[in-house]
Structure 1
């Protein structure tokens, strides 16, 4: 029994991770309240045959979360964030694609909904903390300042998606699974006899349950507005495309053009409605610039040596990071990197500690 009993809101998604989080905290003696975000109109994305897609935040997930809460005998609430999700996540997702960038909606959902709006709701309930099932660690450093570290399970580590957390938020956020492996979490789920113990991992983007993001974008914004030319880096026109939003940096498949060597998307020019392609060597860049930096340390006054990750599954590489005006930063890599993609996050690490990050321009 935990002698320091706290009131903790658990963000319950209906999956095994958040369910185990709630069960562990209750076992430790805390007052646990389950809370699920209803973020979109589930009927809008229902398949004609009633198929259930393997994504998070579906109607089935809400039902699973409710049943887990009932089994744990804890209060449970569903909070309607549909309007905020549309404005803060879906509209941003579409804006980014139609501006020639490739967004990361999971980071945006964490930043603007889970650790902003949901954390506010938790505080309205006079909760001491908001807990989630993320695989990451929050702990104080030698000076007592909270810091974010990678989760113990390197295959599940989600620190990349959490770089937008502020030091103030980290005083009120808990990640009870950060020191566990996924296998250990499932063992706890079986021990608690949770109905979701063997539930499969969620895949794809929750509001694009069939994975067809092009169809989704065209339903949201219409088709035919950004049709144009496919242009080689040399300037030669190689063909036409049916929308710049169909392409992302590094893409090779689906270009529909013949060339003596494999071609990759190396750039997207929305103003000219051009998709720029070139050989693999044209994908390599030795630097990038990020905007909207969030530092979890004091912003460095001098160039900082750190490791930088430019995609979730990207291996970090040594880099020098130099702050720029207007909350931006320049990242210079020790060796050129392939497929640097505007709209994705670049996250800075010192070992397993997150130093900060920003959005690739």
Structure 2
């Protein structure tokens, strides 16, 4: 059975991605990448560990939270601030996806002996005839998130599953 690490944020999209992959017969492991601490040392509300753990428990999968606050600061916050101060309008999600989510998920995939990684992004990964991988639009274009994934490497794309690429947000909510 192939093992897939699913990045769980505590939200509905990643929860349904994990559920769908388990239903497809994968050995699913939930992983939370903690990226932010508030001034009082508490996790941010956007990526709640308790919610992600509750989702993993409800689906019946193991759960591993990992502290990624340092790499998030170095690869996302600092470059964002530098570019913003130069008068640019950076999109921190692009840097976070490439340098935090995928880079860290790939690392933990190897540590936890996984075969694939997955997220709750609305996109598709397709293997082309020439053997290279590409990101393609989700079937329901209104939630398409391919623009945030253009920096992913061939190695990352080859190891990525995106089970929500064929669903609308309403369909994902109905599954949840």
Conservation of the 8 A alpha-carbon contact between 2:5 and 2:105: no
Aligned partner of 1:63 in structure 2 is 50
Instruction: Give 1:171 deviation, angstroms.
Output: 0.7
- Is 1:35 the counterpart of 2:31? The answer is yes
Alignment deviations for residues 169-193 of structure 1 (CA, whole Å, 9 cap, x no partner): 111011110111111111111xxxx
Pairing of 1:78-97 with structure 2 (within 5 A): 78-97=65-84
Instruction: Give 1:37 deviation, angstroms.
Output: 0.7
Instruction: Give 1:118 deviation, angstroms.
Output: 2.1
Runs of 4+ residues deviating >4 angstroms: 43-46
Conservation of the 8 A alpha-carbon contact between 2:119 and 2:162: yes
Report the secondary structure of 2:175's partner residue.
Answer: helix
Aligned partner of 1:327 in structure 2 is none
Alignment deviations for residues 195-227 of structure 1 (CA, whole Å, 9 cap, x no partner): xxxxxxxxxxxxxxxxxxxxxxxxxxxxxxxxx
- Is 1:164 the counterpart of 2:151? The answer is yes
Structure of higher RCO (CA pairs closer than 8 Å, 6+ residues apart): 2
Report the secondary structure of 2:33's partner residue.
Answer: strand
Q: Distance in 2 between matches of 1:25 and 1:149?
A: 19
Per the alignment, do residues 19 and 45 of structure 1 end up closer, same or farther by CA in structure 2, a change over 3 Å counting? same
Report the secondary structure of 1:134's partner residue.
Answer: coil
Aligned partner of 1:112 in structure 2 is 99
Aligned partner of 1:176 in structure 2 is 163
- Is 1:23 the counterpart of 2:19? The answer is yes
Based on CA coordinates, which of the two structures has the bigger radius of gyration?
1
Task: Please point out which of 90, 104, 112 is paired with 1:125.
Answer: 112
Instruction: Give 1:44 deviation, angstroms.
Output: 4.5
What 5-or-longer segments of structure 2 have no aligned partner?
A: none
Instruction: Give 1:27 deviation, angstroms.
Output: 1.2
- Is 1:143 the counterpart of 2:139? The answer is no
Q: Distance in 2 between matches of 1:70 and 1:43?
A: 29
Alignment deviations for residues 2-49 of structure 1 (CA, whole Å, 9 cap, x no partner): xxx310000000010000011111111111100001111135498xxx
**Could you tell me the TM-score, scaled by structure 1's length?**
0.47
Report the secondary structure of 1:87's partner residue.
Answer: helix
Q: Distance in 2 between matches of 1:100 and 1:33?
A: 41
Q: Distance in 2 between matches of 1:96 and 1:145?
A: 32
Aligned partner of 1:152 in structure 2 is 139
**Could you tell me the TM-score, scaled by structure 2's length?**
0.93
What 5-or-longer segments of structure 1 have no aligned partner?
A: 47-52, 190-361
Aligned partner of 2:8 in structure 1 is 12
Structure having the higher strand fraction is: 1
Alignment deviations for residues 205-250 of structure 1 (CA, whole Å, 9 cap, x no partner): xxxxxxxxxxxxxxxxxxxxxxxxxxxxxxxxxxxxxxxxxxxxxx
Pairing of 1:260-279 with structure 2 (within 5 A): none
Q: Distance in 1 between matches of 2:61 and 2:73?
A: 30
CA RMSD in angstroms, aligned pairs only: 1.7
